[in-house]
Amino acid sequence: MTTTGPSAERPSTRPAPPIVEQGTHDELLAAGGAYARLYAAQFEQPVVETG
């Protein structure tokens, strides 16, 4: 649970993670990268990595 404001004992922040891939759903699946692996893991489909 995240707490902010005066009730937080030690408030902290962190930067957003970098964007590792961009494209349409179909482009990202075809690339076989991080997006395709995440999609496959969610829907239990094997992914053949490219490049």
DSSP codes, 1-51: ----STT-SS----PPPPP---S-HHHHHHHTSHHHHHHHHHHT-------
**Does residue 3 surpass a pLDDT of 60?**
no
Q: List, for residues 29-39, the tens digit of each pLDDT value.
A: 999 999 999 99
Tell me how far CA of residue 23 lies from CA of 3, 7, 29, 36, 39, in angstroms: 34, 41, 9, 12, 14
pTM: 0.55
Q: What is the pLDDT of residue 19?
A: 92
What 47-51 contacts at long range (C-beta under 8 Å, 24+ apart), as own/partner pairs, is: none
